[in-house]
Amino acid sequence: MQDFQQSMQMLTISFMPLMIAMIFHEYAHGFVAKRWGDKTAEEQGRLTLNPLPHVDPLGTVILPVGMMLMGTGFVFGWAKPVPIDPRRFKKYRPGLFWVSFAGPAMNILLALFSALIFAAILRFVPADFSLKEPLVGMAHYSVGINLVLAAFNLLPIPPLDGSKIIQSRLSPQATIKYESMARFSFVIIMGLIFTGAIRVLLYPAQVVGDWMLLGAANLFGLGGSLGL
């Protein structure tokens, strides 16, 4: 019973930051694609922060909620990819690079913003405010999940953003060969998750998250009192 209550508490604190992280990630792809001449996302109603058009029932709800309730210690999920047509870019290679990098970059910015909110709540919100603890928990989780999503999406596994960044530097022939890996991608990703190897790959995200939180704490005059 206690484990179930802890899982529900984690779900309450973490689900909203995870949703925001995934939705803003996809929005950033569509926003930058439009700047490079591709209005596909806008034309299909996907250039929006309304979560409903971005929700993938399995990746956005079932899988992450299930992993939270099972207490796996690692949450994996995705939103419905924003449609991108690189053929409409003003310049193909730089367009593909910046559109692909936009999603992880948005997550890094959200992590930094969350760290500032985390420190601001600790500094300015009264201790007797009933929602202080859950708000602190949500901001803290938001730092971590955004950096994890950024690092995960930068892995060079098709069709993750990292693979598109690499493809922006490849010849058409090399791109075709590289994309042929995609049929193995799901197995590779699941293997990394369930063997625990993903924790090693994403360890830098935890280190950067700690730096962000400590930096924000110092900025708001909290010193080293976070215990990170």
Nearest to 146 by CA among 23, 6, 39: 23
Nearest to 122 by CA among 15, 8, 219: 219
Catalytic residue among 26, 42, 43, 133: 26
Q: Is 43 a catalytic residue?
A: no
Nearest to 138 by CA among 13, 7, 3: 13
Q: What's the rounded Cα separation, in Å, for the pair 123 and 86?
A: 46
Beta-carbon contacts of 13 under 8 Å, excluding residues fewer than 6 positions away, are: 134, 137, 138, 141
Residue in the block written with tokens 């405010």: 129
For residue 218, give both structure tokens: 């110092």
The residues assigned a catalytic role are 26
